[in-house]
């Protein structure tokens, strides 16, 4: 079996070698640019690792794996436009480097390319793979819509938030693992278990992202902390703080949420102090641990020898920056 680093290298080398020969070149330049910016390549790595549980040559399914990465980066391209973000992975976003119209059109072409790449699988696997991929793509759009509508609400519940991140983040990780299993001719029950595992990892991964935005080290996190607080993003942290605060704490929290003119550092510091008082960090860490433990339970039930599962378990540990 290949290590996660060997699989990541396969993905990066394959992506770097992909030709973009269609015209006009100006339409595909942003696609090539976005896919050249790096990133952890979690989704294609998971697909190849899911395949590698049963088959020895994960390089055999690099094209559909890269199709999934193309789709993921298409969503980021359009998310950046919707969020009016200036930077992605330390580089200018497409709508900043070019313009909004280019981001829309090249993003649309990127989506079509994702489908073209994803469908390059054996004919007998095509219906199951494309049904799952298409359903996942629809769910991710639904998750993004929930995320945007939550911006205008102060009554978002924890259950609503968990469902939103399941749709927006988890289902693509789940899809990656399950497609890898399907392409490897895994038993249906095992493919379904890997899907459920991916959902749990995705939930833990997103909640950890919420946590790190407040309590992370900016050098390690890769961006300034407190962005979610500054923008009043409805995260697990903020939702539970509002729901669990006493009257005085809630009043103070709402004052910061409703403030239109504020000092960024002062707001981040004040809201973080409220989180500390209410016990939000511990609450979030408990939830992350719960989902991670669930993920391990699903992996335990997959019917391959433990030594073959060890690489995937190590990779999920690494994703979560955990020590076993």
Give the phi and the psi of residue 175 in degrees, each rounded to 5. Answer: -60, -45
Using one digit for the tens of pLDDT, what is the confidence trace for 165-211?
A: 999 999 999 999 999 999 999 999 999 999 999 999 999 999 999 99
Handedness of CA 237, 240, 242, 246 (dihedral sign): negative
pLDDT in tens, 70-112: 999 999 999 999 988 888 888 899 999 999 999 999 999 999 9
Overall fold of domain 123-324: Farnesyl Diphosphate Synthase (1.10.600)
Element (H, E) at 156: none
Which residue in the block uniquely carries the two structure tokens 């193309």? 70
Q: Which residues of 160-174 are buried (b: 16+ CB within 10 A; e: fewer)?
A: ebbebbbbbbbbbbb
Fold of 1-120: Farnesyl Diphosphate Synthase (1.10.600)
Instruction: Average the pLDDT over 213-225 and give the result.
Output: 78
Q: Report if pTM > 0.85.
A: yes
d(CA 4, CA 142): 31
The gap from C-alpha 124 to its chain's centroid, in whole angstroms, comes to 29
Q: How is the chain split among helix, strand and coil, in percent rounded to 5?
A: 75, 0, 25
The pLDDT confidence band at residue 224, using thresholds 50, 70 and 90, is: confident
DSSP per position, 93-154: -HHHHS-HHHHHHHHHHHHHHHHHHHT-S-TTTHHHHHHHHHHHHHHHHHHHHHHHHHTT-S
State phi, psi for 87 to the nearest 5 degrees: -135, 140
Evaluate if residue 259 carries a pLDDT over 60: yes
Share of the chain above pLDDT 70, in %: 98
Residues of the chain with CATH 1.10.600.10: 1-120, 123-324
Structure tokens at 34: 């976005």
Q: What is the CA radius of gyration of the chain?
A: 20
* Contact between 236 and 214 (Cβ < 8 Å): no
């Amino acid at each position: 079996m290949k290590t996660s680093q060997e699989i990541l290298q396969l993905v990066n080398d394959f992506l770097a070698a992909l030709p973009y020969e269609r015209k006009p070149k100006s339409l595909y330049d942003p696609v090539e640019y976005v896919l050249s910016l790096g990133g952890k390549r979690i989704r294609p790595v998971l697909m190849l690792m899911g395949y590698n549980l049963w088959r020895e040559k994960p390089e055999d399914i690099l094209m559909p794996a890269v199709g999934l990465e193309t789709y993921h980066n298409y969503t980021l391209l359009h998310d950046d436009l919707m969020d009016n973000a200036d930077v992605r992975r330390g580089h200018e976003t497409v709508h900043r480097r070019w313009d909004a119209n280019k981001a829309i059109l090249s993003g649309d072409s990127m989506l079509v390319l994702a489908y073209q790449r994803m469908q390059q699988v054996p004919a007998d696997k095509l219906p199951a793979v494309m049904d799952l991929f298409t359903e996942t793509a629809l769910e991710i759009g639904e998750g993004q819509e929930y995320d945007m509508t939550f911006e205008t609400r102060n009554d978002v519940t924890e259950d609503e938030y968990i469902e939103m991140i399941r749709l927006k983040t988890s289902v693509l990780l789940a899809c990656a693992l399950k497609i890898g299993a399907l392409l490897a001719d895994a038993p249906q029950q095992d493919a379904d278990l890997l899907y459920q595992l991916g959902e749990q990892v995705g939930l833990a991964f997103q909640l950890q992202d919420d946590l790190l935005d407040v309590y992370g080290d900016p050098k390690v996190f890769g961006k300034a902390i407190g962005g979610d607080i500054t923008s009043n993003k409805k995260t697990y942290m903020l939702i539970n703080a509002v729901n669990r605060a006493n009257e005085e704490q809630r009043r103070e929290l709402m004052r910061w949420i409703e403030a239109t003119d504020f000092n960024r550092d002062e707001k981040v510091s004040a809201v973080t102090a409220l989180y500390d008082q209410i016990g939000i960090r511990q609450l979030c860490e408990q939830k992350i641990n719960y989902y991670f433990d669930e993920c391990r339970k699903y992996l335990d039930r997959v019917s391959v020898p433990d030594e073959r599962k060890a690489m995937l378990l190590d990779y999920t540990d690494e994703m979560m920056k955990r020590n076993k």
